[in-house]
Every structure is written in C-alpha cells, then in structure tokens.
Amino acid sequence: MSIAYTNATIYTGNTVETGKAVLTTNNTIVDIVQQDAIPSQYEKIDLNGLSLAPALIDLQIYGGNRKLFSEELSIASLEATYQYCLSGGCAHFMITMATNTIQKFLKGMEVAKAYQEQGGKGLLGLHLEGPYINPVKKGAHLENCIKTPSAQEINMLIEKGKGIFKMMTLAPEQCHAKLIDLLIQEDILVSAGHTNATYKQATQAFDKGIPLATHLYNAMSPFQHREPGMVGAIFNHPTAQSSIVCDGIHVNYTAVKIAKQLMKERLFFITDAVAEAMIGEYRHIYKNDHYDLPDGTLSGSALTMMQCVKNGVEQVDIPLDEALRMASTYPARFIKDKKLGKIEKGYEAGMVVFDDTFKVQQTIA
C-alpha cells in the first residue's frame, strides 16, 4: 500500500519541513515531496496540521501496562510493554532486566526469542543491566545477585543469547578489560553503569571501547572538584555517550540542562520505566509519578518517551527538533541502525503523530 502523509510539520531528524508530504510504500519511506507533487497512486492521509516525527526509541525499559518482564517472563509481558511504548510514540524498545540470577537471564532470553519468532513487534533485543556492577552503586538492584564476571559465564551468555542479547550495563572497574573486549567483539553494546569508577578508570574504559554510560548521574561516582568521577569522565570524553532519565525525579532538570550544554549530541533519552509489581524480587510501588521499592529506594520511572521529549522542551529548554532527535535519531545512531530514527528515503516508515501539547495522536509502526 502506498500512503502520503500530508498537512503536517515534519521533523525529519535533520530538518523541519512544512508544506510537504511523506510518501511511504510497504513500510518504507519513499520520499518527501511538495504536497502538490504527490503521485496519483498514493492514498492521502491528512494530518490536520499536527506534527510528524520519526517513531521514538527506548533502549531501557523493564515493562509496561502493569507487567514487569522480569517478574512475568512471558510473551504477554513483552506485548504489554510494546503497547505501553506505542502509547508514548515509541515503536522500538530494548527490553531490560535488572541484576538477577543467571538462570533468570537465560529464561528471559528464551522468552524474548520466542516473541521474536512470533513477529517480535518493536523488540530491538535484550538489555542486561547487571549483574557485573559495583555493589557500592547498586541503587535498587539485588545485592545478593551482584558478581564479578568470568570468561566462561560471559561466553555462555553470548552463546545462549545469540540474536537477542544486544546490550549490557556493567561497572568497568569490576570487570577485567579482556572480558569487556570479548563482549564488544561479539557486538554486544556495552554501557558503563552502576559504577564507582574513578575519573581515570572511567576515561580508560571509554578510551578502550565502551561507547556509552547508563542513566547519567544515577548510580555512578559523582563529579567532585578533587575527583571528577564517572560523571566528569562522561562530560570530558570526546566520544562517550550517555542515556539520561528526564523526569525531574531521577535527575534535576537543571542538571539535565548542564549535561546537554556540555555533551550536545552525545546525550539521549531513555524512560528507565518499570511496571508495578507487588511480588517477586523487584517490588515496584507506584508513587504518582515514579516507582519506589518498599524501603523507599527510587526504582524506576513512570515516563513514556514522548514525556521525555515534552520535559526536554518545557523544562530544559531544548528545541523541539533536538528533543525529538534525543528520543529517536541519537538512540538509532548508537545501536547503528540505519533504518530507524529519521524520516528519510529508504528508512522504515515508523513515525509518531502528536499535537502541540505533546499528546500522541498516532504511532505509525
């Protein structure tokens, strides 16, 4: 089917276009043309002056619609998470499991693979956040499951997770450099997080190939005037990227603004969203605009990706086109997917339609 989306402000990921139409055929973007140049075979869909942007991408989400994936390891959990993502303009997500037993990680891989085999709507892969983290910066993670890695265990995770295990958050100071190299060589996206690394250790880790840090400021050694820590290393490194949770709770909005001014295109949004769970290892209790553990520890956000964009614009003064890039173009670039994150010829026709209040009207996926 050939469709022309007309009468919208189009945020392509590169430019902002008006008076034009996006042509799509069989889930692929064919072109962006003037509205009076739409070929006759295209069905026209009038977007009534709304905004059109690339579908958003979330590289760290644990569940949605009251289903926490690690608690209910099922295809239904992944489907619920996908629907939650769509409600916030997000068409692609990396399902995430926090520190747990290796056996539970392996079961999560099995379920995610089964979801893939049934169509795998929206699923980019599995992000293991832990267990190779620093207990000093465990945050809401299970301390009794934190461990140091072995080559045997990492090789087993890589082998069992072929095709689905795509990303891992670890503390570089807790892992031998050769084991980090092994993950990188196997195309696992490695992110530094839940870490107490010194500035020197963190800089060395980025220099040696770790490309990303997980949720800037949260669960990492802070910037201090005598020891700049992981935060200082992220700020000062020329290529290190980082995700950030833009809800005003995980990170004060002024701190987001400072990070954006320093890092520019190296910073992008994640939701770090969880779902309410009253049983199991991770008990997330909803507190109006975030989730806590029973002991009061902050354990996850209640964000959608479009709420990240809205907060970025309204609270951090990030221009809308740039906030959209932080939720789509930059995550796509990080995972090296050249078909996502832009409205451009040859890209996937995944897009989000939203109004001036950032309410999602439609996620085209």
The secondary structure of 118-172 as a DSSP string is TT-TTEEEEEEE-SSS-GGG-TTS-GGG-----HHHHHHHHHHTTTTEEEEEE-G
Handedness of CA 113, 115, 117, 121 (dihedral sign): negative
**Which H or E element spans position 203?**
helix 199-207
Burial class (CB in 10 A: 0-12, 13-18, 19+), 7: middle
CA distance 303 to 41: 40
Burial class (CB in 10 A: 0-12, 13-18, 19+), 18: exposed
Reduced to 3 states (helix: H, G, I; strand: E, B; else coil), residue 307 is helix
Query: In this structure, are strands 16-17 and 9-11 parallel, antiparallel, or unpaired?
Result: antiparallel
Rounded to the nearest 5 degrees, what angle is found at the Cα of 357, between the Cα atoms of 355 and 363? Answer: 45
46, 207, 272, 337: the active-site residue: 272
Cβ(29)–Cβ(305) below 8 Å: no
Cβ(232)–Cβ(199) below 8 Å: yes
How close are the terminal C-alpha atoms of the chain, in Å? 14
Cβ(258)–Cβ(174) below 8 Å: no
Listed residue (346, 303, 334, 241) closest to 90, CA to CA:
303
**Residue 321 known to be catalytic:** no
Q: List strand residue ranges (DSSP E) for 220-274, in order.
A: 241-245, 267-270
Q: Could you list the active site residues? A: 272
